[in-house]
Amino acid sequence: MDKEIKEEYIQEFNDIWHYFIFNFQNKDNELWGKELKDATTIEISILNIIDKKPDVMLKEIKGILEIPGSTLTNAIDRLEKKGLIKRVISKRDRRSFGLMLTAQGQNAQEKHIKAENQLCESILGALDSDEERKRFLQSLNKIKKKL
């Protein structure tokens, strides 16, 4: 198996990768809404985690994202300042803080999910068949498992 990767492949992948990132972040898209306009990847990840696991504790988020406590605290402070989340005493461990989405945070998360789904539809829709989509997803999953 050829493990050496040609420089031209690396450059082509890099160009494609940056095209996706740039277009996703900079699209003038109403779906994102003003709440998430300047959100970082960590902030969006925190919203996703809270949405999927209500009453999640800070230490759990730190473990899931594998980030330092100071980074997590700063991101949570920014989200709280934007009115998207609030700290609450955890129902599972009254000595710890949990997080929950505010109504504004739930709305922002719904817009975020809708925007991501549209992006995924656009990417997958560019492929010609379900078979091609399946191979594409299998390749991405293979990459994910090896990283």
Per-residue pLDDT in tens (0 to 9) along the chain, 147 residues: 457 888 898 899 899 888 877 776 665 555 566 777 778 889 999 999 999 988 788 888 999 999 999 999 999 999 999 999 998 887 777 777 788 999 999 998 998 888 888 888 988 999 999 999 999 999 999 998 988
The CA distance from 108 to 84, in Å, is 8
pLDDT for residue 1: 47
- Domains along the sequence of the chain with CATH: 27-146 (1.10.10.10)
The CA distance from 22 to 86, in Å, is 30
pLDDT for residue 64: 94
pTM of the model: 0.76
pLDDT for residue 6: 86
pLDDT for residue 147: 83
Residue 37 φ/ψ, nearest 5 degrees: -50, -50
Nearest CA-CA partner of 42 in 67, 19, 21, 69: 67
